[in-house]
Every structure is written in structure tokens, then in C-alpha cells.
Chains A and B, each alone.
Chain A
Amino acid sequence: MGKLKLGIPRALLYYFYYPFWEKLFSELDIELIVSNYTSREQLDKGIKYSISEICVPIKVYIGHVLDLINQGVDYVYIPRIISIKKNIFLCPKFLGLPDMIKNSIPEIENKILTHQITAKDDSLAGFKNYLGMADKLNISKWKLFWALQKANSHWQEHRKTQLQVNIDKKVLTIALIGYVYNIYDRFINMDLLRHLREMGINIVTFEMVDSQIIEQEVKLFPKPMFWEFTNKLLGAGYHFLKSPDIDGIIYVSAFGCGPDSILGSFLEIDANQANKPFMTLRIDEQTGESHLLTRIEAFVDLLKLKKS
């Protein structure tokens, strides 16, 4: 019998946790298959199986799941990440993700590998979370335990490298606030990062901010948000507002994102008061590239004017 083929959708938290999953499943002798990069065709398939009102990242996710099924994987890995901090959750759509997929795509129930994750911090390595899955895959507890340890230290190393940023103060620095799956999916944001880099702009994101700074900023807030990644954006966002190195902030938000509608308003009001240029870029399945370019160029021109 060959290795078990496990599919990981290249969407949502893939962009944050992939190094962890990669190490974990290779240690468990499972062959990982990552879905193809997001494409028009793939997204269209996703849209077909999702309700029209839901946010784009979920439509993208469903597209990736279908892509994996097409590639003939044994299982698609869809964990239910409930919380990665005490009493703080993820968006309801993450909490109901496996339920949603199971009930949206016909005959997929036996192809889903899922388990619940409740953790105290960003690390997903809590042993207990994986017990049910280990039984299902026939993996010994020892093997699982060590694989988790290795995956965790690998991931922690990876996070540390993300923190090392050098800001060149001579050129413009723009902070991109947005969830990993909106910032790093080149299709969904029309290659925003490349466009900015071509204009010679430094980019910072929330992963580059030390988690202690983020937590301090969140503590200053009257009531923390209910969603952990939104809290991270909030902490980083307020840090950027105060930081003189940051010339402007672009808030990248997906159409219909609920948490963004709350955080976005806070940041917008406070950016206005802090006199920090702030722009919201809304992305959806119909965004046109030229529209996006025009807006970025105008924003960058404004920043250049302000800096000189």
C-alpha cells in the first residue's frame, strides 16, 4: 500500500500554517498534495458550489477543495480551528468550515479529514487536538507526539524569520493590513504585492510585528475583538498608526467580510485623527486589475507628495 495522499487547499490559513502542516505530515509519512494556485477557472467552480453572498475567501477555498478532489487525493484536510487564544475565536465561518464544505459539495463527506483545534496560542501543536485524527489514520500516539514537536519548532523558526525586517527609510513604506489569504493570494488581489514592489515600495504586514507589541496594542483597546486574526490586525494596525516609519496604510478587505466591517471603521476613524493616509481596497471575484492599479498609483502619488 502506497502512502496516503492528503490534500491541503492553498487557501485561507494555508498562508499562515503551511510550514507547520508540511513538517507535521511529512513526519507522519503522509504524502501532501497542495492544490494548484488560484485561477479564474478554479474560482468559478468554487462559486458554483457556494452561496452567492458568502465572502470571496470561502468561495476560493471551495474551489481549492474541488481541485484536490479532482487530483484524486484520499482525503482533504479541513481542520476546524476554533480558537488560538483563550476565549477568542476565529470567524464563525472557520468554526463551521467542515460543516459548510460537507453540506455544500455533494458526496464529499468521506473525503474530509477534520478535527477540532482549540489552542492557547498561535501554535497548533496541542497533542489532544489530534487524537481523533490519529486513530482514523492509524498512527501511533508516540509518532504523532514527536511529529507535532518537530512541526512546532519548525514553524516557530519560520515565524522568527518573518520578524526580521529592515525598513529602508529613504523609500516609501506601506503597511498592508489584511488577512494572510487576501494578501498572499496573487489571483484574488491581482498581484498587489508585485505591483507595489515594482513601484519600489517597502511593504510590512502584521506577521512582521512582534506578537508582544500586538498584544500590548490590543490591551489598550476598550474591548478586544472576538476573532483572533482580527485582533492581530488590530494590534498591528494601531502599531502602524503610531509608527513614524510607516507612510501609509492600505486595508485589504474581501467583499462581505464581517470582522473587517467592524475593525475597518475603527481604523479609518483613528487613522483620520492620527493624520495617517489610509485606504481601503475591497477585493471580490469581479475586481478589475486596472481599477486596482489606478487606486494604488493615486495613493502612492499622494504619499510621495506628503513625504517630500
Chain B
Amino acid sequence: MKITFPHMGTTLIFAKLFELFDHEIIMPPRPSKKTIDLGVKHSPEFACFPFKVIMGSYLEAIEAGADTIVTSGGHGPCRAGYYGELHKKILDDFGHQVNFIIFNAPQDNWSKFMENLKKIKAKKSWFNFWRNLKIIYKLAKAIDNVEKIVEQKRAYSPNGEVDLIWKKAKEEFNKINTIDEIEFVETKVKADLDSLSIHLPADKDRIKIGIIGEIYVVMEESINNYIEEKLNSFGVEVERSHYLSDWIDDTFLPFFGESTKIKAKGQQYIKIGIGGHAQESVGRIVDYKDRGFHGVIHLKPFGCLPELVSQSMLDKIAKDLNIPILSISIDEQIAEANILTRVEAFLDMVRQQKSLEERKIKHG
């Protein structure tokens, strides 16, 4: 069984998961122009962009020898829950013989879920199984903890020292096998970041931008044109609305995660869950405003169903809360220069609004 999976965010976590169970892995290549072209060619025209990119990833991985695809399902109403089935249908139509292991929510079909788990567990004992899951969970948490610091400090490190540490950290994390090792690496990387001579400016001089939207385009930097790095390079701090460990929390421990609290904050604008992360997206804007952020960037794939609903409220929310919001729709035709220009103009506006407000406070 040669396993591959969609490329989303820090893929080393998924790779580690299968590695711990002694599976052979075909790493999906980082989505490139070629991946996207391949995916677009073989996907329905109006499928959302992540579907097309993942399609391209699968085709590349199959070419490299993968015969099993592991992915997640869902029960809607967002289209993403149906990706697995449609990918399978289209790949079958091409005559590619690949197995799909699609993880739907366990309560939908227990026996199917257990069957899938056993395929992943392979020859390991259940004891090892739980131990491995725990390692993966801790790993996801540790990586996200480090990344949050990176997203802040990188704004004040124009020479790329932070990036260097972050790159090395990912390599180190890739080598771990036990929880102790994860803790060791995390402490070490944090110490390295601390030892850099970076001085965070005084609170009033910092600019913080939140990134919200659809999970795939927010987390997969090769698709959103490395928007976080770009924002950092303009000297602003960034925080995303999605981190892998939060996603694990929300999926498996829905009542303990943060998302219930976040959703409640957007109640006024969007009453019920409508699929995807639309409700969280709206709640996050309110949350970012409460936490003193200066602007919000909304990312979504072209034609995304739930995020279109949240996008249609952005103007009103921006006005109500007095926070600048930039919405960027991402598809195969987006160009880097386009994003750069819009982000630059947006940041000018954010800075201007910030100084306007400061003046207002000063003069009463």
C-alpha cells in the first residue's frame, strides 16, 4: 500500500502519521503551476478551486506510484465533503486503479469508520495506535505553537533569520518519534527564536492582520501565494483563523474547542451553521476586532458556497465594526502581482485608519 493524501498546510504531520504505522508514503508534491494545470484540466469547470488543486496532486502522486489515497469526507452542506467520491469517479473514468480511504464522521457509519481505521492501523496493536495518535496530536500542537510565534516575529526580521529557524524546525520535527522529542524540539526552537535580537515594537506601533476564510486556501500557502510571508515582509503581524491542531480539536472534541465561542461572536450576522467555516469566519472578524487587530483579509476559493454567504456580509460588518476587510477570491487565474498590489493598497489603508484613530484619541 503506497499512501498519498491531499497537500494542505504542514504536510509533515500527515506524513508522520502514516510513517508511524509503517506505511509507505508517496509525498504529494507542493502544488505548482503544473499541479494546478493538471487539476483544472480534469475537473468540472465549476468545482471549487481546492477540488482542482487536490485533483492535480492526486494525479501527480499516482504518477509517482501511489495506489491508495487517504482523505476526509463529511456530511455537508459544504461541497468539500463530497470531494472524495467525485475524485474517485473521475479517476475511475480515466482508468486509474486507486483505492480511496475516505474518513467520514464516525457517527455516519461506524462500521465503515472502523474498517478504515483498521486499514491505517495495519499490523500495529491498539496500544500503539493510541500512542501514535497522541504523538501526532502533540506534534500538530507544537508546530502550530511555533508557527504562531514565527508569524509574529517574522514581521520584524527583514533578513530572514526567523524563516531560517522555521525551516530548520520543520526538519527537526520531521525526525521525531516520541512525545519527549517533540517537547525537546519545541523548547529548543522557541529558545532559538528568543535568542534572535528582535525587539517587538511598542504596542501602539504594531499592526496586526487576521486571515479568515475557507480552510484550504487559508492553510495552503502555495495556493494563497504565501500571503502570510508577504504580509510579514511588509512589517505586519499575522494570525490565521485555521491551524491544523484547532481543526483536530473542532473535529474530534467539538465542545472543548474554541470554535463554539467564536461562532457565538458572529451570531448577530449569521444565525446558524451553513456549512464550511462561514460562521467561524464571521465570528473571527468580531473576535479579531475585540483583540485589537487592525485589519482582516478574507480568502476564499472562487465560487465557494459558504464563504460567498459570509462575503456578502463583509461590507456591513466592516462598517459596523469599523475594521478594514479585504476579500480575495482565489482560483487558477489569480496572479501574484494582483494579490501583492491589493495587499499593499489594503495595508496603506489600514495604516491610515490607524493613525486617524490615534489622532482622534489624542485630541479627544
Contact = CB atoms under 8 A, between A and B. Distances in A.
Nearest to A95: B274
A90, A116, A259, A261: residue with the most chain B Cβ atoms closer than 10 Å: A261
A104 B276 contact: no
B85 to A, nearest CB: 5
B46 A258 contact: yes
A99 B270 contact: yes
A90 B73 CA distance: 18
Interface string A91-118: 1110110111001100000000000100
Contacts of A244: none
Contacts of A35: none
A96 B303 contact: no
Given A99-B313, A100-B313, A227-B76, A92 B82 contact: no
B272 A116 contact: yes
A99 B308 CA distance: 12
A89 B312 contact: no
A136 to B, nearest CB: 16
B303 A258 contact: yes
Contact of B79 (A51, A98, A99, A259): A259
Interface residues of A, number: 39
A261 B51 CA distance: 11
Given A90-B77, A223-B82, A269 B316 contact: no
A165 interface: no
A99 B45 CA distance: 28
A222 interface: yes
B291 interface: no
Interface in B141-157: none
A262 B86 contact: yes
B82 A54 contact: no
Contact of A265 (B44, B272, B303): B44
A87 interface: yes
Interface string B306-326: 101101110111000000000
B75 interface: yes
A257 interface: yes
Interface in A260-308: 260-262, 264-266, 269
Contacts of A82: 272
Contacts of B89: 265-266, 269
B308 A93 contact: yes
A103 B319 CA distance: 11
Contact of B309 (A88, A89, A93, A262): A93
A37 interface: no
B79 A53 contact: no
A49 B75 CA distance: 31
Contacts of B78: 92, 226
A227 B77 contact: yes
B305, B306, B313: residue with the most chain A Cβ atoms closer than 10 Å: B305
B312 A103 contact: yes
A82 B273 CA distance: 10
Nearest to A62: B312
B19 to A, nearest CB: 30
Nearest to B109: A223
Nearest to B308: A54
B90 A91 contact: no
Given A100-B309, A265-B86, A257 B46 contact: yes
Contacts of A223: 73, 82, 85
B270 A226 contact: no
Nearest to A260: B46
A225 interface: yes
A87 B46 contact: no
A261 B82 CA distance: 11
Interface string B82-96: 100110011001000
A117 B46 CA distance: 29
A35 B303 CA distance: 28
B272 A80 contact: yes
Contacts of B93: 269
B47 interface: yes
B113 to A, nearest CB: 14
Interface in B44-103: 44-48, 73, 75-79, 81-82, 85-86, 89-90, 93
Given A227-B77, A262-B86, A269-B93, 17 more contacts: A51-B308, A51-B311, A53-B303, A53-B329, A87-B75, A92-B306, A95-B273, A99-B270, A99-B271, A103-B316, A103-B317, A104-B312, A223-B85, A253-B46, A258-B79, A262-B47, A264-B46
By Cβ-Cβ distance, the 3 closest A-B pairs, closest first, are A226-B76, A96-B309, A261-B46
6 contacts: A80-B271, A88-B76, A96-B272, A99-B309, A256-B46, A258-B48
